[in-house]
Amino acid sequence: MAAATKLENLSLVVHGPGDLRLVKREEGGKPQGYLRVMEGLFLPSLIFFSFLLSEVLLKMHSVGICGSDVHYWQHGRIGDFVVKKPLVLGHEASGTVVKVGSSVKHLKPGDRVAIEPGVPRKNDEFSKIGRYNLSPSVFFCATPPDDGNLCRFYKHNADFCYKLPDNVTYEEGALIEPLSVGIHACKRGGVTLGNKVLVCGAGPIGLVNLLVAKAMGAAQVVVTDLSASRLAKAKEVGADLVLQVSKENPQDTASKVEGLLGCKPEVTIECTGAEASIQTGIYATRSGGTLVLVGMGSEMATVPLLHAAIREVDIKGVFRYCNTWPMAISMLASKSINVKPLVTHRFPLEKALEAFETSKKGLGLKVMLKCDPNDQTL
């Protein structure tokens, strides 16, 4: 039997507020994570001890940095999700299959895949109706206590790994995660042919909502934001109209939106979580229309609820997504949507701390980390 060769599973781990470390995870009592290669086969060590028949082992390739990753690094928590032990970050990801469990039939070693980070742990009432994202027991990458995939090697449920067509890149595969937020939000809002749509916020999530709304047939999309540079990016990727806001009264902002479109939008997708922006969304949306709340802000907000009620403006929430990866892959493969312009910065995994600083400072738009040291292609 050949001697075992150790491969370092370099991982980006948050230990608490402000404490982010690149760790070469070791076996034993220390942080774990080496893979042993013995007689040509990958054999998972302690971190992969629970490798199941339905799982695949992946060599990670591209992982995007999300605002939630930065928030866990800076604050050690998001709401009730608290970092109580070292946590591997990352959930916008793609990679290559290295090993498959014996019950996995749709994937094989060498397949390029995009990873859906939310996996239901049991077939509860929400899974039965196809809304598994609402299951209280769902596993979700990089949400305490569940580790993410900003590392060299990672294992995941095979049913939530989706094979990428040859004409879809690793980076596009990683961007399916934020794109899925846009798909889910636009479906919740009922965006359809000929609609006029308001998107509040021109960050990555605002822009994927813009892209999806246009792909679903919206006739005109107006995007609002505080930042002129982000609005310029919105115009670049397809916004029909943009509106830079500052400290205007929300009703005045709503009036400006109506002036730009010539009418109130049927659908408003609020991606900032800011109280004033939610207020604008209610005032701006056409009577009988829909306001979709995507952005995460304060737990409590003062909003003109009566104004929505008497005009029958439906207010819908969004929590992540479900059943979106096949649609996203089809949209990318058919070139009906282009997410490539969203990536503005790229770093190797070894420079992850610099990448996170770049993201924290709000430089560019989407920062992408490349986890495979032997393949820095897109």
pLDDT digits (tens, 9 = 90+) for 301-315: 999 999 999 999 999
Return the pLDDT at 47. Answer: 40
Q: Smallest Cα–Cα separation from 197: which of 178, 175, 177, 215? A: 215
Q: Smallest Cα–Cα separation from 284: which of 316, 259, 310? A: 259
Whether residue 369 is predicted with pLDDT greater than 60 in this model: the reply is yes
Query: Which architecture does CATH list for 5-175+339-370?
Result: Alpha-Beta Complex (3.90)
pLDDT digits (tens, 9 = 90+) for 315-366: 999 999 999 999 999 999 999 999 999 999 999 999 999 999 999 999 889 9
Instruction: Round the CA-based radius of gyration of the chain to a whole number and report it.
Output: 21
Assess contact for 320 and 294: CB atoms under 8 A: no
- Sorting pLDDT into bands at 50, 70 and 90, what band is 279? very high
Whether residue 40 is predicted with pLDDT greater than 80 in this model: the reply is no
Whether residue 205 is predicted with pLDDT greater than 60 in this model: the reply is yes
Assess contact for 284 and 268: CB atoms under 8 A: yes
Find the mean pLDDT for residues 80-97: 97
**CA 106 centroid distance within chain:** 24
Return the pLDDT at 93. Answer: 98
Assess contact for 9 and 153: CB atoms under 8 A: yes
Percentage of the chain beyond pLDDT 90 is 86
Residue 286 DSSP one-character state: P
pLDDT digits (tens, 9 = 90+) for 126-185: 999 999 999 999 999 999 999 999 999 999 999 999 999 999 999 999 999 999 999 999
| In the chain, where the domains are located | 5-175+339-370, 180-317
In DSSP terms, 13 is beta-bridged to 21, 88
| DSSP string computed for 211-269 | HHHHHTT-SEEEEEES-HHHHHHHHHHT-SEEEE-SS--HHHHHHHHHHHHSS--SEEE
d(CA 92, CA 358): 17
What is the pLDDT of the chain when averaged over all its residues? 91
Residue 65 DSSP one-character state: P
Return the pLDDT at 232. Answer: 97
| DSSP string computed for 295-356 | S---SS----HHHHHHTT-EEEE--S-SS-HHHHHHHHHTTSS--GGGEEEEEEGGGHHHHH
- Sorting pLDDT into bands at 50, 70 and 90, what band is 374? confident
CATH of 180-317, one of 3.40.190.10, 3.40.50.720, 3.40.640.10, 3.30.70.520: 3.40.50.720
Return the pLDDT at 6. Answer: 54
- Sorting pLDDT into bands at 50, 70 and 90, what band is 222? very high
Cis peptide bond upstream of 44, omega within 30: no
Q: What is the pTM of this model?
A: 0.91
Whether residue 201 is predicted with pLDDT greater than 80 in this model: the reply is yes
Whether residue 256 is predicted with pLDDT greater than 50 in this model: the reply is yes
d(CA 31, CA 11): 10
pLDDT digits (tens, 9 = 90+) for 47-69: 444 457 899 999 999 999 999 99
